[in-house]
Amino acid sequence: MHTASAPGKVYLFGEHAVVYGEPAIPCAVERRATVTVEERSDGRLRVDAQDLHIEGFTVEYGETGPAVDAPKAVLEAATEYVDGAIAQVRDAADAPGAGFDVTIESDIPLGAGLGSSAAVVVASIAAATSELGVELDPREVAERAYQVELNVQDGQASRADTFCSAMGGAVRVEGDDCRTIDAPDLPFVIGFDGGSGDTGKLVAGVRELREQYDFAADTVAAIGDVVREGETLLAESQGGATVDDDVLTELGQLMNFDHGLLEALGVSSRSLDDMVWTAREAGAHGAKLTGAGGGGCIVALDRSDGTETALSYEAACQEVFRAELAHEGVRLE
């Protein structure tokens, strides 16, 4: 039996635009998915997922696929990524008939913009390959996890979520160019509206706008410009050091720009906008949606208790919490 965990993430800048080759800077945060895997001799796959912020269930795979009485969307969300991860494990270990019992525990809300699926896939690959005696380095785990997301998301995934979850810390992703970068421990405050967005639908919507209107394509490019400005600021802020308020203020301003551009592309929502404005009015240096949008989470920068307190009283916000930068990515437990 082997166990691995991997962190979720927030986007400091760059979601959606990263799909079109613009840079993005996601940061791993200390909310983790933990996957325990035990090999079984009959070649079957049994997935036990009890706390993915959906009704928990157990599903066993046989020759005809999963058999469970659950809505199709819920089933796909909870199993397609694991199914793809196990396919990658069988390939990596040259063990096409390997079966597993897989137990998933996660404190990352599903589909809320915090990289739940990426964390589950990354942790699943690391745990299951270790169970078969194959050790993969984090970059190979990230690559295999990306292939899973690319397949599940119909070719519209970027490398950002899986690379960030595998490597930890802050990363910069631009197309196939993925690297870790130095970044200070930023004071992240996360607000969660209790819902989630349809990633595929939201990505497709941006694609349609970008193809239809030149100004929508310019908006996507402008998000890339925001990312580059943010990257310069981070490089000047001495990674690992306490970031000063002037840098926080400028980073926050860029986050505000980014949110406005994402809103213009139609991927925000009333609940996300309400939380963003509540955070800003409470004194946050900046606030924006994180992830695909349409519902889910916002991220704000605030050292004080003001944003947490304000969001705890905001009707649109179901949960608010602080999240530290996760310096360690995927790890065996």
Quote the CA–CA distance of 308 and 6 in Å, as a whole number.
25
Task: Fill in the amino acid letter for 264.
Answer: A
Quote the CA–CA distance of 255 and 269 in Å, as a whole number.
17
**Tokens read off for 165:** 């979850």
176 part of the active site? no
Active-site choice (83, 161, 258, 274): 161
Query: For residues 314 and 284, is the Cβ–Cβ distance under 8 A?
Result: no
Quote the CA–CA distance of 51 and 282 in Å, as a whole number.
32
Enumerate residues 6+ apart whose C-beta is below 8 A from 3: 34, 35, 36, 37, 127, 332, 333
- Name the residue among 40, 43, 134 with its Cα closest to residue 91: 134
Quote the CA–CA distance of 110 and 74 in Å, as a whole number.
10
Query: For residues 302 and 283, is the Cβ–Cβ distance under 8 A?
Result: yes
Supply the residues annotated as catalytic: 161
